[in-house]
A = this chain, B = another copy of it.
Amino acid sequence: MATRTPLTRERVLEAAVALADRDGLAKLTMRGLAADLGVEAMSLYHHLPAKQALLDGVVETLLTEVSAAVAAEDEKDWRAHLRNQFLKARRVMLRHPWAPGLISSRTSVPPTVFAYYDGIVATLVRAGFDYHLAHRALHAFGSMPLGFAQEIFTVGETGGDSEADMAAMAQALPNITAMVASEIHNVTDPTLGWCDTQTEFEFTLDLLLDGLERKRKG
């Protein structure tokens, strides 16, 4: 009979990420996580002081993954560099769809995140940004360095829209309706639906990068 490998903080955090990937963030509960690890809930508290700490740890783990994904490329133009980096971060987030929600709900920021942002400041400063503009840039980027942007409209659940509902919507939202209609006809790749999040992300990112470059040059 195999003696069970002992718990560690790392093992717990990895299991937590795996659980969230599998069942979603809402199902990440102390008991559920413990069960996955073949252990009782209270045992987790010998490795983590509280659930808050677990979540912090999960964010930390996530950021390790991001850091690994973006690691060490030669620094060309700062814009291309950061663009590349943010897009790579985005690929990580696509693997963990629950992560943006978790990160933005967090009130405290694990040190790993600070370290990650420190690297971004470094890039900006090396590119000739003064600290003031670098600071502004950081705020402007928002969560894009982590690979996601604020999405107000979650496209998913257009479940029960009857024709009548559609008509009512067209009445109440003439401009959005027209916009969607127009966009649907012009999609290059019809499989993507009318919101190609990747393209939107890149558009917004470029908008910011171009704007900042202009500011940098004076």
The residues of A with any CB-CB pair to B shorter than 8 Å are 101, 103-105, 107-109, 111, 113-115, 117-119, 121-122, 125, 130-132, 134-136, 139-140, 142-143, 146, 149-154, 156-157, 169, 172-176, 178-179, 182-183, 186, 195, 200, 203-204, 207-208, 210-212, 215
User: How would you classify the secondary structure of chain A's contact residues: helix, strand, loop or mixed?
Assistant: helix
User: What is the CB-to-nearest-CB distance from A32 to chain B, in angstroms, rounded to a whole number?
Assistant: 20
Residues of B within 8 A of A178 (CB): 131
Residues of B within 8 A of A143 (CB): 150, 152
State whether B104 touches A182 (Cβ < 8 A): no
CA distance A196 to B208 in the complex (A): 20
Assuming the A-B contacts A108-B154, A113-B152, A118-B174, are A135 and B212 also in contact, with contact meaning beta carbons closer than 8 angstroms in the complex? no
Q: How many copies does the complex hold?
A: 2
State whether A115 touches B173 (Cβ < 8 A): yes
Q: Which listed residue, B114, B157, B207, touches A173 by the CB 8 Å rule?
A: B114
Closest chain B residue to A209 by CB distance? B211
State whether B203 touches A118 (Cβ < 8 A): no
State whether B207 touches A140 (Cβ < 8 A): yes
CA distance A3 to B198 in the complex (A): 57
State whether A207 touches B203 (Cβ < 8 A): no
Residues of B within 8 A of A134 (CB): 179
State whether A150 touches B150 (Cβ < 8 A): yes
CA distance A132 to B104 in the complex (A): 29
Assuming the A-B contacts A136-B200, A150-B104, are A176 and B117 also in contact, with contact meaning beta carbons closer than 8 angstroms in the complex? yes
CA distance A169 to B118 in the complex (A): 11
State whether B136 touches A203 (Cβ < 8 A): yes
Assuming the A-B contacts A101-B105, A107-B154, are A179 and B135 also in contact, with contact meaning beta carbons closer than 8 angstroms in the complex? yes
State whether A108 touches B157 (Cβ < 8 A): yes
